[in-house]
A and B are shown apart, each in its own frame.
Chain A
Amino acid sequence: MTEVPEHLLRRSKERRAALGLPVPGEPDAGGGGGEAAAGGDPDKIPAHLLARSQAAGEGGDTSPAATASPAGTEKAAATAVATAPAPTAKGPEGHTQRLLTVVKAGSIQDVRATPTDKVHVWPHLLIGEFVACMAMSAFLLVFSALVNAPLLAAANYNFTPNPSKAPWYFLGLQELLTMFHPMIAGVTIPGIGIFALMLAPFSDRNPSTKPEDRKFAIALMTLFLMFWAVLVIIGCFFRGPGFNFTFPWKDGVFFDL
């Protein structure tokens, strides 16, 4: 038999004592009168409950008083009436119900994940990926067939091209070089930039992902990206001989990819 927690046993004892019922496991101390309660044997269903269930099964279906009708034995009927204030113990089939255990609300874990709207990767995702890869391949192939990668004259230490530019993604840094000391522009600023990017999830404590809740973060990032893009574009197209400012439509473009 399942072990019933101690506090529940105690509570049931108190309740039974208050109602004047015999307490199981103890000598008949209550005022139950003539009940031949199954006090000594806790596994047995008490006679008055048996009688009540019998009466319920055969007789009417409403109050315990009504069920205590001629059907049961006289003694059982009498006890049924005597214990009438106790809550009815009639189950759906008329069987006696017993309380096995009480489970506190919230103590049961809900192991099932909340259902989300999911689709199969095949075909829904794989087809999209396939089309994207094919489109990219086609674009790359056509573009490569039409536009040649630059190959200038062989490297020559004795001739410095004017201007000499870094690869385009570093032209922002080269642009900073015109404004700051090389240690600031070439090392400190990009180092801090990379580090700040890495720290973004830890410095942004706002848990929301909704754009309307993160106006500051979005504004800051957009400012950073725009700042960088502008520097790169200036470096690519607006810098001529001597890395001086120039307009591409005036002096031409000094830029190789």
Chain B
Amino acid sequence: MARRLTRNGNGNGDGNGDGNGHRGPGERLAEVGEKVRSSQAWTSIFRPGSIFRKGYTDSPRNRSYVIMNSLLYHLHPVKVKRHAVKVSYTLCLGGLSFFLFIILTITGIFLMFFYRPTAAQAWNDLQTLETSVTFGLLVRNMHRWAAHLMVISVFLHMSRVFYHGAYKPPREFNWVIGVVLLTLTLLLSFTGYLLPWDQLALWAVTVGTNMMGYTPVFGSQVKFVLLGGTEIGTDTLLRWYVLHVLMLPFVIVIFMAVHFWRVRKDGGLSGPL
């Protein structure tokens, strides 16, 4: 479509018309397309230079426009160092961690529709989700496995960065942000662990929170805050639910934004070894 438009864009071109005002369907379609593209509605949506205005032909200018005119791609610079594109350098681990986070957000929102965080209802809701909700089981599986994969990929990403020495100046601060992100990932995973309210969840969290209770000086206070009481119960579930679906994602998104921003400000990926 786009290519035809650029060829036949100026009306009676070299296309399907016979030159006597009779135009073929292709040409008429091209004209409609041209009208839509020059309408105010269309041009208000797509910024000047957008490939959706003029069509895409492969040129250095258009390659830049692809990045500059897209909010999502705009996370990237227009150009990167050649070695930074090599899969063998990054193994895509940072990007995949982010991608898994997006998958977890989407599947998590789906799960929230069918889940009530109370001790009486949580486990039954999961049963219903798995048995009566279309794709419920599949989405729950995806959420669970993606969570484990994210812990693994964030961990491997950290190892990769260490072995490349990429935490050295000027990237020290971004490494610190990265360690915070690793911690937040673990906390997100751990808070999600309780939500099914089955035997696995209950006793894993019991083990975890008992350990936290040994924090020096204010151990019992830490435990009390975490449990929302003296022992695990429906208050704990609500507390961990809010942490899991709202507070920790909110915090981790802020830290991720700083992390990605600093990657660019510090000069992109660290140099080749």
Same complex = yes
Whether, in the assembled complex, A230 has its beta carbon less than 8 Å from a beta carbon of chain B, the answer is no
Q: Evaluate contact between B215 and A187: CB separation under 8 angstroms.
A: yes
Cα A126 to Cα B215 with chains together (Å):
46
Q: Which residues of A contact B151 (CB under 8 A)?
A: 169
Closest CB in chain A relative to B73 CB, distance in Å: 7
One of B145, B158, B162, B212 near A143 (C-beta < 8 A): B145
Q: Evaluate contact between A147 and B67: CB separation under 8 angstroms.
A: no
Residue of A nearest to B83 (CB): A117
Contact mask for chain B residues 114-145; partner A; CB cutoff 8 A; 1 contact, 0 none = 00000100011011001000000110111111
Among B92, B127, B200, B219, the most chain A Cβ lie within 10 Å of the Cβ of B200
Q: Evaluate contact between A128 and B87: CB separation under 8 angstroms.
A: yes
Q: Which residues of B contact A168 (CB under 8 A)?
A: 148
- Give the A-B contact count at a CB cut-off of 8 A: 208
Chain B, interface residues (CB within 8 Å), range: 35 or more
Q: Which residues in window 32-85 of B have CB below 8 A to A?
A: 60, 63-64, 66-67, 73, 76-85
Q: Which residues of A contact B271 (CB under 8 A)?
A: 209
- Given A126-B73, A136-B100, A170-B190, A118 contacting B79 (CB threshold 8 A): yes
Whether, in the assembled complex, B24 has its beta carbon less than 8 Å from a beta carbon of chain A, the answer is no
Say what secondary structure dominates the interface of chain A: helix
Whether, in the assembled complex, A185 has its beta carbon less than 8 Å from a beta carbon of chain B, the answer is yes
Q: Evaluate contact between B162 and A221: CB separation under 8 angstroms.
A: yes
One of B66, B76, B137 near A148 (C-beta < 8 A): B137
Q: Evaluate contact between A121 and B79: CB separation under 8 angstroms.
A: yes
Cα A224 to Cα B146 with chains together (Å):
26
- Given A137-B103, A187-B215, A201 contacting B141 (CB threshold 8 A): no
3 nearest CB pairs, A to B: A186-B211, A209-B165, A201-B172
Q: Which A residues contact B (CB, under 8 angstroms)?
A: 116-126, 128-129, 132-133, 136-137, 140-141, 143-145, 147-157, 159-161, 164-170, 173-174, 177, 181-183, 185-188, 194, 197-198, 200-202, 204, 207-211, 214, 217-218, 221, 225, 256-257
Q: Which B residues contact A (CB, under 8 angstroms)?
A: 60, 63-64, 66-67, 73, 76-85, 87, 92, 95-96, 99-100, 103, 119, 123-124, 126-127, 130, 137-138, 140-146, 148-149, 151, 155, 158-159, 162-169, 171-172, 175-176, 179-180, 183, 186, 189-190, 193, 196-204, 206-208, 210-212, 214-216, 219, 270-271, 273
